[in-house]
Structure formats: structure tokens, C-alpha cells
Amino acid sequence: MNPEEFENLVAEHYQTLGFATETTPTTSDFGVDIFATKTNEKIAIQVKMYDSRTVNYKDVMYLFAASKLFSCSRSIMVSSGEVRTDAKEVADKLNVEIVEYFGSRRTTQLASKSPKLIPQISTNDHSKFSRIWKDYIVPLQGQEVRTVTGKSNIIKTVNWDGITRISSNGRPSPIGIEIFEWSYEQLLRRGELTRDEINQHYTNRGSAIIFAVLATLPFVDVTLKPATLHYLGN
């Protein structure tokens, strides 16, 4: 199961509780994945599906801020796994509800009952990031990827948390999947994306390898000065 399918299962759960649900586009969700509404109630829901990472207090704070931005009556953080203690403490103070280990016992049952919620896309449909991640980026595990300046990086692991790369100085560092998804959605929506734009959005070191990983996609071209990714279409 990928994060998109997991998000759909969460949406279905709230539909069974009588809510109308609306998923948000990645590029403008401001920290909300699903809006659930019923009569005068509007809930902001953030969904986190990680392989080993845990939800931290910053995730909770972003959700709380977004719920106020969209005038929601309450907010809920739904995770496939564990929520850190510090996140729970912040959630308690901000009245953000926490749901841990969602679907751990019924994921398979829900998926089999709801095939309509798991979209099937053709091999030349590049609109679904989860498909792009699975088909093109996961296979980079164990491979060498070079930046535009020629520096070597080894992609040590790739999963639904993100990637861990060994940089040219020999140090391992993880990069979360969120920045790859944001960058890809920007590229898809606008047709191009510069490394500088990634660097401005991503406050940690790593814009060069993020750029380089996306440059390996067969439907993406690269130009230099400034370093820019170009989406070539289907």
C-alpha cells in the first residue's frame, strides 16, 4: 500500500461515520490532507504513512495552524504508526486529536472492499507521485546518483519515509519523502523547477541530491545555469 491509498482508506473511514470528505492537492494543502464535513462540523485531517519514521511535534503544529487557516472546528492527526511523546504533549495543549496505528488490523479488508478508492493508472500517467516513487525512485536503491556538479552520492535505502544517501564525503543522511513530493508536484504543475527553488523550500542540506534524483526520471530533462528540471510530458 502506498500513501495515496492509505489516505483514501482514512477518507473512507470518515465517510462511514457520516462525513463528506475531500482530499486536498499536494501543492496547496498547507498541512491538511483531508477535509471531513458534517452539518456544522469541519475537520482538518493530516495523514502520515511512514515505514519507520514517527510523527513529531512540528507535524502537529503545522496541522493546528492549517486548521485555523481553513476555519475548521477541530483537527486530527492520523498515523499508520507511532506518534512521538513530544508530539502528543503538543497535541494535548492544542486540542489536536491523535490516531495511531490506523488500519493496522483492517487495512487488507478495507482495500478489498473499496477498489474504487485505489485508482488504477496507466504506465504513462505521471500525475500520481506515489506511482512515480514506486516505479522510478525505489529502484535507485543501491545505485550511484551524481549531482550536476559531478559529486557522487550512493542511494543507500529508499522507502515510504524517504531516502538515505551516502554523500561524497562518506556520511549517510536521510531526506524525507515530503520534499521530493513537493518538488515533483511543482514540476508537474509548472513544467519546470530550479534547484534554487528546492533550496529555498527545503531548509536542510540536500537540494543537490533531491534535484539529481528527480533528474533521473525518464520524462524529465535538465538544463544548467541555472540548474533547472523540465517536465517533458507523457
Please name which of 43, 3, 42 lies closest in space to residue 26, comparing C-alpha atoms: 3
- Does residue 103 sit in the same domain as residue 140? no
Q: Which pLDDT belongs to residue 104?
A: 65
- Does residue 103 sit in the same domain as residue 151? no
CA 4 to chain centre: 9
Q: Range of 24's domain?
A: 3-117
Q: How many CB atoms lie within 10 A of CB 216?
A: 16
User: Of 87, 117, 147, which residue constitutes the final position of a domain?
Assistant: 117
Q: Which pLDDT belongs to residue 111?
A: 34
Please report whether residue 99 resides in a domain: yes
- Does residue 110 sit in the same domain as residue 179? no
Please report whether residue 52 resides in a domain: yes
**What pLDDT digit, counting tens, does each position of 89-105 carry?**
999 999 999 999 887 64
Please name which of 70, 62, 24, 61 lies closest in space to residue 43, comparing C-alpha atoms: 70
For the chain, residues with pLDDT lower than 70 are 26-29, 104-127, 234
Task: Read off the pTM.
Answer: 0.70
- Does residue 7 sit in the same domain as residue 107? yes
Separation CA 73–CA 16 (nearest Å)? 19
- Does residue 34 sit in the same domain as residue 83? yes
DSSP secondary structure code for residue 83 in this structure: B
φ and ψ at residue 99, rounded to 5 degrees: -125, 115
Instruction: Give me the number of domains the chain comprises.
Output: 2
- Does residue 19 sit in the same domain as residue 86? yes
3-state secondary structure of 168: coil
User: Of 68, 93, 117, which residue constitutes the final position of a domain?
Assistant: 117
Q: Which pLDDT belongs to residue 169?
A: 84
Residue 172's alpha-carbon distances to 51, 110, 215, 218, in angstroms, are: 18, 37, 21, 26
Separation CA 170–CA 104 (nearest Å)? 37
- Does residue 161 sit in the same domain as residue 206? yes
| CATH number assigned to the domain comprising residue 79 | 3.40.1350.10
Quick check: 173 and 63 in contact, CB under 8 A? no
